Structure 1
Amino acid sequence: MKRFFSPAQLAHAPAHELHNGGFTNYAETPARAAAILAAIGGAEEPADHGDAPILAVHDAEYVRFLRQAPAAWAAAGRSGDAIPYAFPVVGRRPLRLDRIDAQMGRYSFDATTPITAQTWASAYGSAQSALAATHAVLAGERAAFALCRPPGHHAGADYCGGYCHLNVAAIAAQAARDAGHARVAILDIDYHHGNGTQDIFWHRGDVFYASVHADPATDYPFYWGHADEIGEGEGEGATINLPLPHGTQLAAFRAAQATALDAITRFGATFLVVSFGADTWEGDPISHFALRTQDYAVLARDIAGFGLPTTIVMEGGYAVDALGDNVVRFLSGFDPADLGI
């Protein structure tokens, strides 16, 4: 299986995040990517497909903000990473607000996603990795893996959050659409709901979004991912959410994933993007499911059995010591011989 990763993705390294009412060490560290790279035996550096595929998904003013926020933060006399602290609670009027503090809140939905001087380069590299994997599949590979770090599924068209700045799954799906696939599906099997991905395609009927995740009644991102959310307008029926309780083990997770895959089949997708998070593992420090390492191959074989051309993008997973093994086991379900399992 082809695997892609840009060294620029290691540069993004915020010091702290605001979590559960206090500042703590940033959980989405470069060590995550390093552990996965070591386990999978390295990856190809992606070709540069430019800004256009990013701008096909993300608002141009938001992209400009991501590029310029660190300089504006420094110009305001701030040290350290840029972290928002003020948010518009009800809607977001199209106001022209020049102060960086206002812009941080305008383009963020939480305080867990700092922006550093290196964030844009890392997020851009993450998007290029997703695009490289997608183009490999479009060229005939059965499946390809993008080691995306920072991850992406919490980022909306014009906001960041949940450690995510650019939505790599959405960028990959749109690239497949632009290459001629009339119906594309995204299967999100990270512990947390991919609110940004859902938002991006909420009103569209050409990209199906299916998510298996922790119940947002108890878990982040709280305000998205409930079972009654199915899309609106042309997108009505093109979203399915399958929330699960704390302690979920393989049988229940596999059954929910099967429901999602059946819905994708009925939708008629000809290309699949998998948002894979290993934070569903039983020892993950910020999550509460109970999947075991060997379970990931089972889940992957179920997905691969549907036979769709598949781009796999990396999302969460914060137990660094186990992360590489969990990723290898998942990828083995698509190509056991290639990974020696």
Structure 2
Amino acid sequence: MKTVYSDKHHLHHGQAELFAGKLVPCFEMPSRADMIFAEVKKRNLGEILVPQNFDRTRIERVHRPAYVDFLEQAWADWTAIGETTDILPICTPARDMRSDRIPQNIHGRVSYFSFDTTAPITSGTWTAAKTAADVALTAQNLITKGARSAFALCRPPGHHASSDYYGGYCFLNNAAIAAQGFRDAGAARVAILDVDYHHGNGTQSIFYDRSDVYFASVHGDPATSYPFFLGYGDETGRGPGEGCNANYPLAAGTSAETWFEALEIACAGVQRYQPDALVISLGVDTYEGDPISYFKLKSEDFLKMGDRLARLDLPTLFVMEGGYAVEDLGVNTVNVLEAFAHKNP
């Protein structure tokens, strides 16, 4: 299995996030991707490629141009008013406030385009996020040209970013950009299977009205787990997309056995959809040692996960999402990939 990777992810290195009422060091840090990359090399998973540089229009196939403009310009606008610290929002628009006007002030624009306080924008965030999207598109292109599988080692992650907002450590939705890339390259139907502990609210929102992209997610119940406001089982798509969205929320403390039962149901849904390509939003924060997640998978369970995904027998793109038990992150991630590649080279 080929891996696409860029060390430009180091350019995004937030100093702190607001978590549980206090500023704490960011759980999403450069060492996450470093640990995974080291394990990919250690196990000789396959060739490692650098990403191509794609035109911004590829991003705008799923993200609104005004939002992409904001991300590209945010740091310059921030420093233009004399600020030098990382950027965090100062408010969140409430349900009875207006959303049809984008504020002129940078503080207002940050609050308009974000939904939480976990994703500080730094001087290098745009370059890192754009490069992560390029990593996903490069890996998608490998599969379009005939590869059976590929791994996009993306950082920052992406599945919480919607068409015009960021949060949850995510700025550009790498999995959604890649799925649209498959569609634009001729795939009639694409499935996205999200196995991160946290629901991929951004991915769901982007494709919720569409029948050409099927989204399934096994995740922590939003009644008690972030992102709280999407991910319930009754969210099944809208209009043309009805029946093309499937959520499998599970209680905190869920065992590996119960988690795999839900994965089996999700895989059956993917098979019924009969996609031409599959995108896996690969979060491994389902691990029992993850500091901000609450499932009970062990390292060996990620081998089992890779084996089950391989039995779908589809051209498969793995896009890296979450996982915050940094010391174990490389082993858990590559366990999935290695087991998959063993069954589906």
When the two structures are superposed, what TM-score results if normalisation uses the length of structure 1?
A: 0.97
Q: Counterparts in 2 of 1:253-268, with a 5 A limit? A: 253-268=259-274
Q: Distance in 1 between matches of 2:98 and 2:111?
A: 10
Tell me how far 1:82 sits from its aligned partner.
0.7
Q: Deviations over 1:313-338 (max 9, x none)?
A: 00000111100100110101211399
The CA deviation at 1:240 is 0.3
CA 1:337–1:260: 2 relative to 1, 3 Å = closer
Q: Which moved more, 1:10-19 or 1:39-48?
A: 39-48
- Deviation of the 1:249 alpha carbon: 2.1
SS in 1 for 2:285: helix
Which digits, 9 at most, give the CA deviation of each residue in 1:108-141, with x for residues without a partner? 0001111111000000111111111111111111
Runs of 5+ unmatched residues, structure 2:
43-47
Please state whether the residue corresponding to 1:335 is helix, strand or coil.
Answer: helix
SS at match of 2:216: strand
Shift of residue 96 of structure 1?
A: 3.9
Residue 129 of structure 1 is matched in structure 2 by: 135
Residues 266-311 of structure 1: per-residue CA shift (max 9 Å, x gap) = 1221110000111110101111111011111111111111111000
Paired-residue identity, % = 47
- Residue in structure 1 matched with residue 126 of structure 2 by the alignment: 120
Matched, 1:238 2:244: yes
Checking the alignment, whether the CA contact within 8 Å between 2:102 and 2:112 is kept in structure 1 is no
Secondary structure, aligned partner of 2:157: coil
C-alpha distance in 1 between matches for 2:111 and 2:241: 28
**Contact 1:146–1:314 at 8 Å: present in 2 too?**
yes
Q: Which position in structure 1 is the counterpart of 2:15?
A: 15
Q: Aligned equivalents of 1:83 and 1:96: distance in 2?
A: 17
Q: Structure 1 CA distance, aligned partners of 2:127 and 2:341?
A: 31
Aligned counterparts, 1:164-179, within 5 A: 164-179=170-185
Farther off after superposition, 6-15 or 330-339:
330-339
Distance 2:308 2:98 in 1: 41
Specify the alignment match of 1:34 in structure 2: 34
Which of 25, 36, 58 pairs up with 2:63? 58
Structure 1 residues 242 and 23: alpha-carbon distance in aligned structure 2, compared to 1, 3 A threshold: same
Q: Is the 8 A contact 1:7 1:45 kept in 2?
A: no
Residue identity opposite 1:17 in structure 2: E
- Aligned pair partner of 2:295 in 289, 294, 300: 289
1:95 to 86, 93, 101: 101
Residue of structure 1 in register with 2:45 after alignment: none
CA deviation after TM superposition for structure 1 residue 49, in Å: 2.0
AA partner of residue 327 (structure 1) = T
Question: Alpha-carbon deviation of 1:93?
Answer: 2.3
Deviation at 1:258?
Answer: 1.1
Cα shift at 1:79: 2.5
Root mean square deviation of aligned Cα: 1.4
CA distance in 1, matches of 2:344, 2:234: 40
Deviates more, 1:178-187 or 1:36-45: 36-45
1:71 paired residue number: 76
- Is the CA contact (8 Å cut-off) linking 2:256 and 2:295 kept in structure 1? no
Contact 2:148 2:344 in 1 (8 A): no
Contact 2:162 / 2:173 at 8 angstroms: preserved in 1? yes
Aligned-partner residue type, residue 5 of structure 2: F
CA distance in 2, matches of 1:234, 1:44: 37
Q: How does 1:43-54 map to 2 (within 5 A)?
A: 43-54=48-59
Q: What corresponds to 1:151 in structure 2?
A: 157
Mind listing any 5+ residue stretches in structure 1 that lack a counterpart?
none
Check the 8 A contact 2:306/2:337 in 1, yes or no. yes
Say which of 145, 149, 171 aligns to 1:139.
145
Equivalent position of 2:334 in the other structure: 328
Report deviation, 1:92: 4.7
Task: State the partner residue of 2:228.
Answer: 222
Give 3-state SS (helix, strand or coil) of 2:215's partner. strand
Per-residue deviation, 1:77: 2.3
* Deviation per residue, 1:14-68 (Å, 9 max, x gap): 1000111111001110000111111101832111122121111100010000011
The secondary structure found in structure 1 opposite 2:9 is helix
Partner-residue secondary structure (3-state), 1:334: helix
Deviations 1:230-262 (A, max 9, x none): 111111111000001112222111111111111
Q: Secondary structure at the match of 1:159?
A: coil
Tell me if structure 1 keeps the 8 A contact 2:11–2:123.
no
**Alpha-carbon separation, structure 2, partners of 1:265 and 1:123:** 32
SS at match of 1:210: strand
Q: Distance in 2 between matches of 1:338 and 1:230?
A: 30
Q: Secondary structure at the match of 1:145?
A: strand
Q: Aligned residue pairs: how many? A: 339
Residues 5 and 125 of structure 1 are in contact (CA less than 8 Å); yes or no, is this contact kept in structure 2?
Answer: no
Contact 1:108 / 1:159 at 8 angstroms: preserved in 2? yes
